[in-house]
Amino acid sequence: MSNMRMKHKLIMSMMAGMIIIPGSVVRTQAAETDDSEKSLVPVTGIENILEASYQTEIKNNINLYLVPTEEGEYLNIAFSNTGDYTYIRSEADENSEWVGKLYSDSAAVVLEYLDGWTKIRSGNAEGYVPTETLFTGEEARSRSDEYTNENVTVTADCLNVREGHGTDTTVLTQINQGEEYLVTEDPVEGWYPIQVGEVNGWVCGDYVTEESSYSYGETKEEEQKRMEAEEAAAAKAEAEVQAAEAAAQSVASGQEVIDYACQFIGNPYVWGGTSLTDGADCSGFVQSVYAHFGISLPRTSYEQRSAGYEVSYEDAQPGDLILYEGHVGLYIGNDQIVNAMNEDQGIGISSATYTNIVAVRRIY
């Protein structure tokens, strides 16, 4: 879940001011008096501040008093202490509408402490969660590393992702300037481990910038939008799999393609034709043979160079397209093709290496 949600840059504000110790009274000297007129003015303890805040309906600003300096750095930052997620609700009531979700890896800013509930903001989601679903204060400080994500952003135009942490290791792939990746483990000797798609590798720290970030919750609307996108992507992937399976069922093997194609040996060559019985040219012959198996190919031999995927001639199998300059045939095996040759010879068998081979494409 966390991989799919937005990562936000870590912004940790420090509130300047004095540390107020609960129950204490700090005495200050009034300004512009002589020694004989010095007076002591009591400064209210934290309990009285809290009580006054409640009485004057400014509870949302209580956190200003709870964030002194370094020691209180995490008093207004919390981390989730929940299973998969907990609901963020519109009111401090478990029966109120939920407006978002706080996930197991999420950070939040504390806005207000209530009896059994805490008001938070996590990403764009703002509302109330049960207090026991949060780590706050010293607990949050001690656990902060568990919730911090380290990311690197590429600064080079193009950066090699290598198998190991060194320039003498194999290049696995390349990434581009401005792309951002999650650091998967601790850096080693200035090299950062990252994952690019299915590839796990290392990038040199000289060509990336490192930043820390937290994962946050999401609103109900954000979750719905994300789930719709995921469902659409899953449906597209499933459709592609089904199409591939249907094609595989239609074409059980390349040999079936050849067996079918060879039925038309001796039929005429007709330039621009696509009929296997009345006449076809080279690309029309290949197109019509594969159309019988439910597979659509481009019309010309030039366009057919991009059909399917490329294989080497050494790995050619029956049914593969053997392409030449201005010509195409179907590989039979044993260095032979079946093809619509010319008006004199019609559809027949010829050497696969009669001239220079431009490409070999596998369709099935």
- The H-assigned helical ranges of 105-253 are 137-147, 220-250
Q: Regarding beta strands 125-130 and 336-342, do their DSSP bridges make them parallel or antiparallel, or are they unpaired?
A: unpaired
N-to-C CA span, the chain: 36
Do 219 and 98 touch, CB atoms closer than 8 A? no
Domain range summary for the chain, segments of one domain joined by +: 2-146, 148-215, 254-362
Residue 137's region, left for phi above 0, alpha for psi from -120 to 50, else beta, is: left
Alpha-carbon distance of 270 to 272, in angstroms, equals 6
332-351 residue pLDDT tens: 999 999 999 999 999 999 99
Using the Cα atoms of residue 99, residue 103, residue 213 and residue 200 in order, give the sign of their dihedral.
Answer: negative
pLDDT band at 242, cuts 50/70/90? confident
Q: Which CATH superfamily is domain 254-362 in?
A: endopeptidase domain like (from Nostoc punctiforme) (3.90.1720.10)
d(CA 43, CA 23): 10
Indicate the helix (H) or strand (E) that contains 158.
strand 158-162
- Domain at 148-215, CATH homologous superfamily: SH3 Domains (2.30.30.40)
Per residue in 16-37, pLDDT tens?
A: 333 333 333 333 333 333 443 3
Structure tokens at 57: 């309906």
Q: Do domains 2-146 and 148-215 have the same CATH topology?
A: yes
Task: Report phi then psi at 158, rounded to 5.
Answer: -145, 130
pLDDT, tens digit, 9 for 90 and up, residues 257-304: 999 999 999 999 999 999 999 999 999 999 999 999 989 999 999 999
CB neighbours of residue 245 within 10 Å: 10
| pTM to 2 decimal places | 0.48
Burial status of residue 208 (CB atoms within 10 A of its CB: 0-12, 13-18, 19 or more): buried
Structure tokens at 20: 């107020």
Q: Report residue 74's pLDDT band, with 50, 70 and 90 as the boundaries.
A: low
The percent of residues above 70 in pLDDT, for the chain, comes to 77
Query: What is the third-level CATH fold of 2-146?
Result: SH3 type barrels. (2.30.30)
Lowest mean pLDDT among 25-39, 59-73, 156-170, 183-197: 25-39
Distance CA 294, CA 307 (A): 14
Looking at residue 137, its amino acid is G
- Tokens representing 308? 């399917």
